[in-house]
Amino acid sequence: DAGITQSPRHKVTETGTPVTLRCHQTENHRYMYWYRQDPGHGLRLIHYSYGVKDTDKGEVSDGYSVSRSKTEDFLLTLESATSSQTSVYFCAISETGVNTEAFFGQGTRLTVV
Amino acid sequence: KQEVTQIPAALSVPEGENLVLNCSFTDSAIYNLQWFRQDPGKGLTSLLLIQSSQREQTSGRLNASLDKSSGRSTLYIAASQPGDSATYLCAVTEGNQFYFGTGTSLTVIP
């Protein structure tokens, strides 16, 4: 298995609080991605990174920010959590972008109450 | 915007049967197509990656084909086993993104 660790694995938080999810990889892959998975929508891209301090938005980026200060770590922050952000969040990595195989973490189940 | 569709949404078959899962996409300008497996409460496991220049890939009992011009891919599973029960997702890559279908939930009955 690709070395991808997401933390925490489960979290319950209150509306309006900030939340940060962490993705850590040991593969030294350049690209890292954050997806959310919701019933009926499949996986949708939130943000991705193509290198240290290089990030870009995906199709559902509103309400989320990301940071990548080291190759191995990609952080997803919900600035002020809302109930619509209740979801399962997956981190993925790929060596050189979308032309190479993607590997996924185990996911973080986030519940906003 | 790329749209990926997987039919059927759910499939139940007896053990030992050969089966085909379908994936269609609307824009043929893709880099590649990848099939994943997802077990309940787990992440995605990569099964097969087909580059846009390829027609098919095989791994064990799995065979995936790609027809870019028609916007279709199939995943063939031979001699299905109960351990194959999972949700199967296809994803195409275009621009800087992977676009996912909503998956086919497969149950193999012993």
Is beta strand A73-78 parallel, antiparallel or unpaired with respect to A19-25?
antiparallel
Residue predicted with more confidence, A96 or B65: B65
| DSSP calls for A45-76 | EEEEEEETTEEEE-TT-TTEEEEEEETTEEEE
Greatest Cα pair distance, chain B, in angstroms, is: 42
Length of chain B: 110
Judging contacts by C-beta atoms under 8 Å, the chain A residues touching residue B42 are 106-107
Q: Does B93 touch chain A (CB under 8 A)?
A: yes
Contact in structure between A58 and A45 (CB atoms under 8 Å): yes
Q: Does B40 touch chain A (CB under 8 A)?
A: no
**A55: nearest CA partner in chain B:** B96
The model's confidence at residue A39, banded by pLDDT at 50, 70 and 90, is confident
The model's confidence at residue B7, banded by pLDDT at 50, 70 and 90, is very high
pLDDT of residue A17: 97
- Which residues, 6 or more positions from B50, have their beta carbon under 8 angstroms from its beta carbon? B32, B33, B34, B56, B57, B64, B65, B66, B73
Mark yes or no for CB contact B89/A42 under 8 Å.
Answer: yes
User: Does residue A1 register a pLDDT over 60?
Assistant: no
Residue predicted with more confidence, B48 or A42: B48
Judging contacts by C-beta atoms under 8 Å, the chain B residues touching residue A59 are 1, 97
Contact in structure between B44 and B91 (CB atoms under 8 Å): no
pLDDT of residue B96: 76
- The whole-number average pLDDT for the span A33-45 is 92
Contact in structure between A2 and A101 (CB atoms under 8 Å): no
Contact in structure between A91 and A32 (CB atoms under 8 Å): yes
pLDDT of residue B31: 85
pLDDT of residue A2: 65
| Among candidates B32, B43, B49 on the partner chain, residue whose Cβ is nearest the Cβ of A106 | B43
Mark yes or no for CB contact B96/A106 under 8 Å.
Answer: no
Two tokens, residue A86: 């209740």
The Cα–Cα gap between A109 and A37 comes to 10
**A10: nearest CA partner in chain B:** B41
What share of chain B in percent tops pLDDT 70?
100
Mark yes or no for CB contact B46/A102 under 8 Å.
Answer: yes
The Cα–Cα gap between A67 and A47 comes to 10
